[in-house]
Amino acid sequence: MRDTDSIFIFQKGFNYSQDGPGNRLVYHLSGCNFRCPWCSNPEGLSIDDNAQRLTIDDVVKEALSAKMILIDGGGVTLTGGEVTCQRDAVISLLKELKKNGIHTCIETNASLSGCEEIFDTVDYMIADFKSPFADKIKSIGGDIETIKKNLLYRAKSGKPLLVRVPLIKFFNCTEDTAKAFALFFEELNNTGNENLFFEILTYHEFGKEKYNKLNMEYTVTDGYVTEDDIKILLKELKNKDLKIINT
Taking each continuous run of H as one helix and of E as one strand, the counts in the chain are 9, 8
Query: Distance (Å, rounded) from C-alpha 7 to C-alpha 29?
Result: 7
Give the Cα separation of 36 and 128 in Å (integer).
12
Q: Least distance to ligand SF4 from the beta carbon of 241, Å?
A: 28
80 binds ligand SF4 (CB under 6 A): yes
Among 34, 181, 184, 203, contact with ligand SF4 (rule: CB under 6 A): 34
Residues in 181-240 that interact with ligand SF4 by CB under 6 A:
none
Number of residues engaging ligand SF4 in binding (CB under 6 A): 10
163 counts as binding ligand SF4 under rule CB under 6 A: no
What CA–CA distance (Å, rounded) separates 75 from 56? 15
Residues within window 82-141 making contact with ligand SF4, judged by CB under 6 A: 82, 109
- Nearest distance from C-beta of residue 103 to ligand SF4, angstroms: 23
- Binding status of residue 81 toward ligand SF4 by CB under 6 A: yes
| Contact pick of 7, 36, 89, 97 for ligand SF4 (by CB under 6 A) | 36
The Cα–Cα gap between 12 and 29 comes to 9
What CA–CA distance (Å, rounded) separates 226 from 125?
Answer: 28
Element containing residue 167 per DSSP (H, E): strand 161-167
Instruction: Kindly list the residues in this chain that would bind ligand SF4 in the complex (CB under 6 A).
Output: 32, 34-36, 39, 41, 80-82, 109
